[in-house]
Structure 1
Amino acid sequence: MNRFLVSIYEGSKIAISAIWTNKTRAVLTTTCIVIGIVSVTAMNTISDGIDRSFEESMDMLGRNVVYVAKWPWGFGGEYKWWEYRNRREMKISYVDDIRELAPSASSVSASASRRTSVKYGDRIADNVGLSGVTQSYFQTAGLDIEDGRAFSESEVNRAAKVIILGGSVVDVLFPNDEDPLGKNVRINGQRFTVIGLLERQGSFLGLEDTDNQIIVPITAYGTMYSLRYGIQLAVQFPNEESLEDGEFEVIGAMRQIRQLDPLEENDFAINKAALFEQEFQGMKVAIYGIGIFLTGLALFVGGIGVMNIMFVSVKERTKEIGIRKAVGAKPWEILLQFLMEAIVICLVGGVIGVILSIGVTELINQFFVAYLNWSTVLNAILICAFVGILFGYIPSRKAAKSDPIESLRYE
């Protein structure tokens, strides 16, 4: 056992010395490994980032909430828009009807939304998501007020011109830590008083900034835009387990509200977070499949580079191999020496690749989502060691099996 450990130690020293002696060759070889490891870590960081972002986004949607609307969420396949467009629109009055007909629902809200611009003084925030909502919307949407307050039911009833701002809108309209509360902003020429600030949520699926939004009472929204179309209802249940039964309750309530005959199809859509999850699983398999293929290809190319350079190294040091065997070195010690050299080359490339991956992760985060954790780093190092063993074994075995007399004659 001691001889084995000594061989590993000595093999590592010889490997580092050989790499240092042939710096240019080592750099070219490790570059292949660096590219492979950056590809591996990039794939893992993106997949981890997608998973984290997806879980957070599903929490935003609410796993215990069903959404009732005219239009179903579209996720590929045939989208029968020509049928959906003839459906009747949702109405605000359905909120009270569903509360009465779906007793297991913990909260019901209505909302309508569009993109708009908000102005404060000479500052303008463009393409902001404006939502007109009922008072219980904050509960069904899982929104928290960071500063100030939410509007009351009486403010909804009287169409009060009050507004709640998202963090990204605050950054544009009120830079330099100016307090927005109590200030007046303008939407579509109408003045609204800021009464609250939303707690920041981040992006939805790593793409849409959910903090780029403003919220007003739905009645105040109706004074600027029509409420005859575009209303969506949200029905929240106590927990995710109660959602399935609750969904049937909501369907039954809506059919009763719409006075549909038993043989008539639903003229409304039931949407929920589970639809996103089903679609996401298919997308994830495709993304992971492409990622594994590309990273596997990059590592294969890197491994071939390591194997090639190890064959060159074995050839150059043939006489050294003969001398070591002549003084009593066992074949497995020769094999271990060159195997350690291959592993060290891969590990050096792996460490450089992981360091570069930190920067790559930050770059990806500017456009999409990525998350680098310690398990990804550990996996990258283990993969490097595996590539070194896999592609370094054949050259190392050739060195171990070489004839000592022929090796000593080699010039």
Structure 2
Amino acid sequence: MSRLNRFINSSWEGLKISLNALRINKTRSVLTTLCIIIGIVMVTLMNAVSNGMDSEFDKSMAMMGQNVIYVETQPWNRGPDYKWWEYRNRRDMKLDYVEEIKEASRLASEVSATVAQSATIRYKDTSTEGVFLAGVTQKYFDTAGLDVEQGRVFTTEEVRRGQKVTVLGATLADKLFERGTPLGKEIRISGQEFTVIGILEKQGKFLGLADMDRRAITPITVYGQIYGLRSGIQLAVKFPNEEIMKEGEYEVEGIMRRIRGLEATEENDFSINKPQAFKAQLESFKTGLYIVGGALTALSLIIGGIGVMNIMFVSVRERTKEIGIRKAVGAKAWEILYQFLIEAVVMCLLGGLIGLAISYPLSLLLNQLFIASIDLSVVFSAFILCSLVGLVFGFIPAYKAAKSDPIESLRYE
């Protein structure tokens, strides 16, 4: 028999023996791999969340508009250097800044203003609380990259005159109007009647959290009549492309310093924010996730590996006589080693399969609450991880079995 045939036969026999051993000791095998199951569940869900966040990030950034910067009183990045005591005393943005920036800028293609708050919206006997209500200038739909699926957006004249018209998000429209078209219907916002003139195209959730389709958009002038415009105005400046946006950021900063009357030695009393700021926060979150999740996964796999090694020592001791008989009839040491390594790997793979079977429904549940997506690379990585745990922690018991004296093994009772 050639070495290759012998290796194949040994692999097949080792696999049958290991599966038979696992079948006989089902409960012991599952309990032994419990920590491996936990480790695989943790590493799978951790990667599922990370993959989900990556896949949703670009989509979420598109919801904020392409090549847009935002001018506000406070920065978005609220890290350890966040000076809230300084930012809260900054002067508010003003609606007049929209025209001033547009007239002074050579690079900006569109400028808009937005102010928002949570509101309750009613249609007849149906009401929805916690709706994102935004008052905007007419160019907001261009800077935010929003399109309407039905109807239209409001005109510059409607904004100027403070017409009580509104454009609804898809989720809100479905909630308020279960049958028929919402267009032309009257809804109530803070006791005021507004006419629905458009329905936005469905966008989904921002980073898997906020439903961007659960909102209502009104002209900023009528919003100001109801709620006032003393604070919370956000300015959005859009540029033709990314290259121009980089230069345009400095231009807008200079324009804002002039508008605010700042001296050369004074610091900015406003912040220029970009959607890319979320990328740094996302990476920071993912780093923390990997550190904590990786440490707990490693601990679970090490504990699980020690359990596998312990059971393999028990298995070697229980089958000492069998090992002696196999050696007596010509089995090589490497075949004995290989047999027990296969058994250790199969046991760990069993834990991996159970872990993946648990992870899949958990990831579906997690995706309803946040964002999670399992792909084939995660499954492949889980199998490799389980195999490595089996090889590393199964080697010492397997080596002990391979090096055992056949005569002493045959005498073992």
Tell me the TM-score range normalised by the shorter chain.
over 0.9
1:144-193 alpha-carbon deviations (Å, 9 max, x no partner)? 22222222222212222111111332232123x44222211100111111
Which of 320, 328, 331 aligns to 2:330? It is 328
In structure 1, stretches of 5+ residues that fail to align are none
- Residues 366-386 of structure 1: CA distance to partner in whole angstroms, max 9, x if unpaired? 322211111111111111111
Matched, 1:47 2:23: no
In structure 2, which of residues 11, 18, 23 is the aligned counterpart of residue 8 of structure 1?
11
5 Å matches for 1:65-80? Answer: 65-80=68-83
SS of the equivalent of 1:297 reads helix
Residue 334 of structure 1 and its aligned partner are, at CA, apart by 0.6
Q: Which amino acid aligns with 2:323?
A: I
Query: SS at the partner of 2:369?
Result: coil
| Partner Cα distance (1:386, 1:24) in 2 | 23
Deviations 1:246-275 (A, max 9, x none): 100101111222333323322222111232
Partner residue in 2 for 1:388: 390
Q: How far off is 1:61 after superposition?
A: 2.8
Matched-pair contact (CA < 8 Å) for 2:66–2:145: no
- The residue number in structure 1 matching 2:112 is 109
Equivalent in the alignment of 2:314? 312
| Identity across matched positions, percent | 57
Aligned-pair distance for 1:234?
A: 0.3
Cα distance in 2 for partners of 1:372, 1:161 equals 46
Amino acid at match of 2:272: I
Counterpart mapping for 1:277-356 below 5 A: 277-356=279-358
Farther off after superposition, 54-63 or 97-106: 54-63
How far the C-alpha of 1:292 sits from its partner, in A, is 0.4
- How many residue pairs get aligned? The number is 410
* The one of 151, 155, 159 aligned to 2:154: 151
Pair 1:26-2:21 in alignment: no
Residues 348 and 389, structure 2, Cα contact 8 Å, conserved in 1: yes
Taking the aligned partners of 2:344 and 2:174, their CA distance within structure 1 comes to 52
Moved more, 18-27 or 337-346: 18-27
62-71 or 245-254: which moved more?
A: 62-71
Kindly provide the amino acid, as one letter, of the partner of residue 28 in structure 2. R
Which residue does 2:91 correspond to in 1? 88
Cα separation, partners in 2 of 1:70 and 1:24, compared to 1, 3 Å: closer
What letter matches 1:201 in structure 2?
Q
SS for the counterpart of 1:181 is coil
User: Is 1:37 aligned with 2:40?
Assistant: yes
How many Å apart are 1:215 and its aligned residue?
0.5
Q: Which residue of 2 aligns with 1:365?
A: 367
CA contact (8 A) 2:66 2:144 kept: no
Deviation at 1:14, TM superposition (A): 1.0
Question: Structure 1 residues 116 and 349, CA, compared in 2 at 3 Å: closer, same or farther?
Answer: same
> What's the counterpart of residue 256 of structure 2?
254
Could you say what secondary structure the match of 1:61 adopts?
coil
Distance change >3 Å, CA 178–CA 385, structure 1 → 2: farther
Which amino acid counterpart does residue 50 of structure 1 have in structure 2? M
Q: Give the structure 2 partner of residue 234 of structure 1.
A: 236
Q: Which amino acid aligns with 1:257?
A: I
Q: Distance in 1 between matches of 2:89 and 2:38?
A: 54
Amino acid at match of 1:385: S
**What SS does structure 1 have at the residue aligned with 2:122?**
strand
Q: Closer, same or farther in 2 for the Cα pair 1:284/1:27, shift >3 Å?
A: closer
Aligned to 2:196: 194
Write the distance in 2 (CA, Å) between the matches of 1:227 and 1:103: 28
Instruction: Tell me by how many angstroms 1:125 deviates.
Output: 0.5
Shift of 1:74: 4.7
Does the residue aligned with 1:180 lie in a helix, a strand or coil? coil
Structure 2 match to 1:399: 401
Q: Which amino acid aligns with 2:369?
A: F
Give the Cα separation in 1 of the matches to 2:242 and 2:256: 21
Q: What is the SS of the residue equivalent to 1:273?
A: coil
* CA deviation after TM superposition for structure 1 residue 78, in Å: 4.3
What whole-Å deviation, never above 9, does each CA across 1:338-368 have from its counterpart, x for those lacking one?
1111111111221121121111101222322
What is the CA–CA distance in structure 1 between the aligned matches of 2:350 and 2:305, rounded to whole Å?
Answer: 14
Q: CA deviation at 1:117?
A: 0.5
Is the 8 Å Cα contact of residues 40 and 355 (structure 2) preserved in structure 1? yes
Counterpart residue type for residue 96 of structure 1? E
Which has the larger displacement, 83-92 or 268-277? 83-92
Give the aligned residue type for 1:312. Answer: V
* Structure 2: tracts of 5 or more residues without a match: none
Whether the aligned pair in 2 keeps the contact of 1:107 and 1:140 (CA below 8 Å) is: yes
- Residues of 1 paired with 2:36 and 2:81: CA distance? 45
The answer as to whether partners of 2:39 and 2:296 remain within 8 angstroms in 1 is: no
Going from structure 1 to structure 2, the CA distance change for 1:279 and 1:410 (only over 3 Å counts) comes to same
> In 2, Cα distance between the equivalents of 1:405 and 1:295?
43
**Given that residues 169 and 213 in structure 1 are in contact (C-alpha distance below 8 angstroms), is that contact kept between their aligned partners in structure 2?**
yes
Which amino acid counterpart does residue 39 of structure 1 have in structure 2? M
Select the residue among 202, 207, 210 that pairs with 2:209. 207
Which amino acid in the other structure matches residue 267 of structure 1?
Answer: D
- Counterparts of 1:167-186 in structure 2, within 5 Å, are 167-175=170-178, 177-186=179-188
Q: Check whether the contact 2:77–2:281 (CA below 8 A) recurs between aligned residues.
A: no
**TM-score, normalization: structure 2?**
0.94
More displaced, 205-214 or 325-334? 205-214
AA partner of residue 84 (structure 1): Y
Maintained 8 Å contact 2:77/2:277: no
Instruction: Decide whether the 8 Å contact of 1:166 with 1:213 is kept in 2.
Output: yes
